[in-house]
Amino acid sequence: MKKHNFFAGPSILPQFTIDETIKGIQDFDGTGLSVLEISHRSKQFIAVVDEAKSLFKELLNIPDNYSVLFLGGGASTQFLMLPFNLMNKKAAYLNTGAWAAKALKEAKYFGEVVEVASSKDKLYNYIPKGYSVPEDADYFHITTNNTIYGTEIFEDFDCKVPLVADMSSDIFSRTIDVSKYAMIYGGAQKNLAPSGVTFVIIRNDILGHVERPIPTMMNYQTHIDSESMFNTPPVLPIFSALQTLRWLKAQGGVEAMEKRNIEKANFLYDEIKRNKCFQPTIKDTTDRSRMNICFIMNDGYEAFEKEFLDLAGENDMMGLKGHRSVGGFRASTYNALPKESVEALVALMKEFEAKH
């Protein structure tokens, strides 16, 4: 029996993706070669990249004036590549978690950074509201889902400056209006593929406006012009990403995923609220992540945390321990996690409550 995988990332992938990747490793597209050893410039692999880009655009309804890139370096490299290409003098950042803070830190190497708001004062357990974004900023950066703390931004902001979003952990989990964003980027190891490939969705007209020279590899235009083939891309993760995109389309697309994700999240949050042993870490229901559901022991039950984690492990539930910086529990309920896994967790929580 396959275990229930609640890890935050790298995380659960569709079984279809795993099976098709294994086939590609053994024999890629009937070539008699493994996808691990095929040239990235072969017609077979170029077809993989082309189909993956096409499915990105189809599934997210990406307008024609945007490019989709597959790069290396993870989202952490985007933290510096972004301001390198888009910041002339000033950028605005919303600080909602550890990754948002790291993105903000990197941007300071390139100019003035305005932290428009932060939830650090309460250990990032809410999404700030009521802030203003300076209209002379070159862009405004947000991190839509915060894996460590369990908050998520669901609104596609109307913004007077170019809006940029790190969607590493909630891309394809809900519908978004891409036209509201100048750029969306993310690591793939949550809802898309194994770690190693980074996706970038970028509106073409926001490039070419900075005064500084940009090193070739750091220049988005380089990768647009070369169609993600300027250097050897992360071939295997891109191949796996294509399988996930095919799976997503077969499942009914992003709209169907969003409906399922709402059902899974509500089912688990409802039990956390009902169960005398547990409480949610995020009190404002509008700020709660659907991807990373964080909770702790209720008052008076703190001593039972290890017992619950041990019981979860005995019942084939992996990855429920909260991030080391916050403790408690974290159930990551990405697209590929079946509702049956959430139901198993809820049943275990009820069993634990009955025992105590």
Active site residue 23: no
CB burial class (10 A; 0-12, 13-18, 19+) of residue 33? Answer: middle
Collect all residues with Cβ–Cβ distance below 8 Å to 288 and sequence separation of at least 6: 150, 151, 152, 265, 269, 280, 282
Report the Cα 345 to chain-centroid distance in Å. 23
Phi, psi of 339 (to 5 degrees): -60, -25
Nearest to 214 by CA among 109, 93, 91, 83: 83
Options 99, 138, 287, 321, the catalytic residue: 99
Phi, psi of 332 (to 5 degrees): -90, 120
> Both tokens of residue 257?
């995923």
Active site residue 190: yes
Collect all residues with Cβ–Cβ distance below 8 Å to 17 and sequence separation of at least 6: 193, 240, 243, 244, 247, 336
Phi, psi of 114 (to 5 degrees): -100, 120
Taking a C-beta distance cutoff of 8 angstroms, is the pair 325, 291 a contact?
no
State in Å, rounded, how far the first CA of the chain is from the last one: 29
Report the relative pairing of strands 329-332 and 292-297 from DSSP bridges: antiparallel
Options 138, 166, 170, 287, the catalytic residue: 166
Per DSSP, the three-state class of 159 is coil
Active site residue 99: yes
CB burial class (10 A; 0-12, 13-18, 19+) of residue 302? Answer: exposed
Nearest to 115 by CA among 126, 103, 125: 103
52 vs 48: CA distance, rounded Å: 6
Options 53, 190, 264, 321, the catalytic residue: 190
CA distances from 238 to 6, 8, 147, 315 (A): 23, 20, 23, 33
List active site positions: 99, 166, 190
